[in-house]
Chains A and B, each alone.
Chain A
Amino acid sequence: ETGVTQTPRHLVMGMTNKKSLKCEQHLGHNAMYWYKQSAKKPLELMFVYNFKEQTENNSVPSRFSPECPNSSHLFLHLHTLQPEDSALYLCASSQETANYGYTFGSGTRLTVV
């Protein structure tokens, strides 16, 4: 365990479903991130939250909707996804004053059918 917990680990959903991915950290970090990793592609940054405020939305389609209710929790709400959205979704956190970078969760493997 890294200190960043993601649930569920695996998710299969239909294109008309609505689901949410959850990320939780109790490392005292004040920034949280969503990344997407499609097969054979580098990790792509999706969203950034600093002190619960969204500071980056990397041209992500509106069918992905992030929510950060407090500095320990981050959600990614999913609706009307496409099969090409199937990927590993990774959450990370960091402390802006620390030098040792990001701590990643183990990811949610999402399959859209």
Chain B
Amino acid sequence: DAKTTQPPSMDCAEGRAANLPCNHSTISGNEYVYWYRQIHSQGPQYIIHGLKNNETNEMASLIITEDRKSSTLILPHATLRDTAVYYCIVRVNNAGNMLTFGGGTRLMVKP
């Protein structure tokens, strides 16, 4: 699986949009971009994933650049409960292809 690069930490004001970047310049054509988050001392939680098109669900939006070398996770109105470590992972969507976590971005939402 291709590697990803994320900033180690970010701050965001409560109620504002949180934009979390991820670089994956060596991504292959069949690799998806996945985002998970891990709130302190809990298991990671799936947020969203995409291949080429932008995606939106009730939790977040995922913007993937046209060349697919980077993406941005957007939390439109961050709350204090969104404080967590956010992981960007690229992987082929095949059985047996494991989910490998990097260091992620520690997002701190401040009042």
Residue ranges of A at the interface with B (Cβ–Cβ < 8 Å) = 2, 4, 31, 33, 42-43, 45, 48, 50, 55-56, 88, 90-92, 96-97, 99-107, 109
Contact = CB atoms under 8 A, between A and B. Distances in A.
A36 B48 CA distance: 23
A57 to B, nearest CB: 12
Given A50-B95, A100-B49, A105-B43, 18 more contacts: A2-B43, A4-B43, A33-B98, A42-B101, A42-B102, A42-B103, A43-B101, A48-B96, A55-B96, A88-B41, A92-B43, A92-B99, A96-B95, A100-B46, A101-B36, A101-B46, A104-B45, A107-B41
B100 interface: yes
Nearest to A91: B43
A4 B32 CA distance: 24
B70 to A, nearest CB: 20
Contacts of A45: 98-100
Interface of B: 32, 34, 36, 41-46, 49, 93-96, 98-104
A109 B41 contact: yes
A107 B96 contact: no
Per DSSP, chain B at the interface is loop
20 contacts: A42-B103, A43-B44, A45-B98, A48-B98, A55-B96, A90-B43, A92-B99, A96-B94, A97-B95, A99-B49, A101-B49, A101-B99, A102-B46, A102-B99, A103-B46, A104-B43, A106-B42, A106-B43, A107-B42, A109-B41
A92 B36 CA distance: 13
A12 B96 CA distance: 33
A107 B43 CA distance: 6
A31 B99 CA distance: 12
